[in-house]
Structure 1
Amino acid sequence: MARRSRNLAALLLVLVLVVLAAAAWAMREPRDKPVLGLFSTLPIYWGEAEDLNALLVLDGHTHWVRTLLERDYTLRPLDVIGGASQPVPLDKISYLVLAQPRALAPAENVALDRWVRGGGRLLLFADPMLTEHSHFALGDPRRPHGVVLLSPILRRWGLDLQFDDAQPAGVHAVPLFGLSLPVDLPGRFRLLPQGEGTGACTLHGAGLAAECTIGKGRVLILADAAVLDGENAGRAAREAALTALTARIFRDN
């Protein structure tokens, strides 16, 4: 009986320790993070690899943007905007990042516009001349898209993306929303004449950024993606800028 009592006490002690450990983990890692969709040609979620085997044996390196976003959100990569086959349907997501996305199909433009108008929050990086290095050669479909092609949805929201090919190349910081934003060969937005778009947009930073109210939703668009560069140099400034941008669009003021 004494041995049985000791065994029972030991079992109870183990159960208590397991419960305490689970509670401590839950306090450290909240389980109720909001879901954030990610739609991008940049190697933010998967990284760059020649094939699936190479992807599976990567050295554990995770893009800093993914690490930063996963601190506050449950990140879900999307292959199609509005596709029924997605693990998390678009209508179940309140926040979305489009980072140098591929050109959208007509049905995707419609789905994205409908989602925003229903109350979605979108952070969009639309770079007309991407400068980030890639391991893949020009023309390789695995390479991030060098020129963003989003004219239909931008015009729908009353914006025209322009690019000055005479500007000097090179990373430099510009003031935007009280932060120092690194850019390299950025574009500029122009507001279309009244009546040519259905969004209410305000330009910032001489057109570098546009904030729009679209129906019940909000959109923050940058005409550059250098802030997402995966290089180590200048990462602290990029992390601070991306943190400020996500807070501006995803958090209620």
Structure 2
Amino acid sequence: MRRAIKAALAAGGVLLAGLVSPVLAQDAAQDMAEPRPVLALMGTVPIYWGEAEGLTDLLSGAQEGHWARPVLERRFTLEPVSYLSAEALAGHSLLLLAQPRAFSAQENVALDAWVRAGGRLLLFADPMMTGESRFNLGDRRRPQDVALLSPILTHWGLALRFDEEQDDALRAVDLWGAAVPVKLAGQFALLSQESPCRLLAQAVIAQCRLGAGEALIVADAALLDIEGPWPAAEDALGALSALLAGETGEIAGSGVIPALAAREIDGNPGLSGMAPDARSGTGPP
């Protein structure tokens, strides 16, 4: 019955009001809507499944899901991946890595090649996770406490540093008008003037142009704390995911970020507008 109704709607048929349930009509409308871009998702922050203890939790819905999943699903269709390889990334143009585990040498090579071939990456790499977890230290289901991504970051000309003397209060850094909440954040440094990256938001965020692809790397993951969201977290995630998708205009209700390709904050252009040979600095490329 559902298939028949959807087929009729798709063919432009007229259905009398009252003969079709609102639920079926809504399903059909969603099926005919333009498909959302697919976002590959990987990391130890449990965005897709939440902190489910096992299959029983998943099936019963006993464990509450992560708040970030529906926020991302407003814009994307999420597709979890468990390993980075040419095969796993084939067909994907967008990737979110949320405090991922350490990569193997083969994964580093695959990720680098994928980005340089035109992939767009949003990476959260936190040197000191502050979020709570239902799982104890040492449990593999717990988000990784420290980012272990030095090989790929070094290859991209970045060093991730952490100031142990910093204030542990929640604060916000500004990224093109979006307030990004951070707590005990790291900071990036460029390893040379030849780095393909720029430092933004008090060096908490690095913006890199790598071959034909782009990466936005955040040295903190407090934004994704599962017990959140922190104030402004949903807007910040919406802004970051819009940049990932190469969008401009209204972002997650936080206002308008016009013409990211042309606008500059502190001399730093939008992610899509960085020239291929742009280097770090405060002036335009």
Pair in the same fold by TM > 0.5: yes
Q: Which runs of 5+ in 1 are unaligned?
A: 1-11
Residues 118 and 233 of structure 1: is their aligned pair in 2 closer, same or farther, counting only changes over 3 Å? closer
Which residue in 2 is equivalent to 1:8? none
Q: 1: distance between equivalents of 2:73 and 2:246? A: 15
**How far did residue 224 of structure 1 move?**
0.4
Q: 1: distance between equivalents of 2:28 and 2:65? A: 23
Counterpart among 206, 216, 220 of residue 220 in structure 1: 216
Report the TM-score when normalising by structure 1: 0.84
Report the TM-score when normalising by structure 2: 0.75
Which residue in 2 is equivalent to 1:5? none
What CA deviation, in whole Å up to 9, does each residue of 1:68-87 have, x standing for no partner? Answer: 11111110011001264xxx
Q: Which runs of 5+ in 2 are unaligned?
A: 1-7, 249-285
Percent same amino acid at aligned positions?
A: 50
Does residue 79 of the first structure (1) align with residue 82 of the second (2)?
Answer: yes
Q: 1: distance between equivalents of 2:136 and 2:98? A: 20
**How far did residue 232 of structure 1 move?**
4.0
Q: 1: distance between equivalents of 2:229 and 2:51? A: 19
Secondary structure of 1:153's counterpart equals helix
Task: Give the structure with the higher percent helix.
Answer: 1
Contact persistence 2:173–2:202 (CA under 8 A): no
- Structure with larger RCO (C-alpha < 8 A, sep 6+): 1
What CA deviation, in whole Å up to 9, does each residue of 1:21-43 have, x standing for no partner? Answer: 87754544635211100011012
Contact persistence 2:57–2:63 (CA under 8 A): no
Greater gyration radius = 1
**How far did residue 177 of structure 1 move?**
2.0
Contact persistence 2:41–2:97 (CA under 8 A): yes
Q: 2: distance between equivalents of 1:72 and 1:233? A: 18
Alignment of 1:1-40 (within 5 A): 16-17=14-15, 25-28=27-30, 30-40=33-43
What CA deviation, in whole Å up to 9, does each residue of 1:91-136 have, x standing for no partner? Answer: 2111000010000111100000000001000000000000110011
Contact persistence 1:211–1:221 (CA under 8 A): yes
Does residue 48 of the first structure (1) align with residue 48 of the second (2)?
Answer: no
Secondary structure of 2:173's counterpart equals strand
Secondary structure of 2:209's counterpart equals strand
Which residue in 2 is equivalent to 1:247? 242
Aligned length: 232
**How far did residue 168 of structure 1 move?**
1.8
Counterpart among 198, 202, 206 of residue 202 in structure 2: 206
Alignment of 1:152-171 (within 5 A): 152-171=151-170
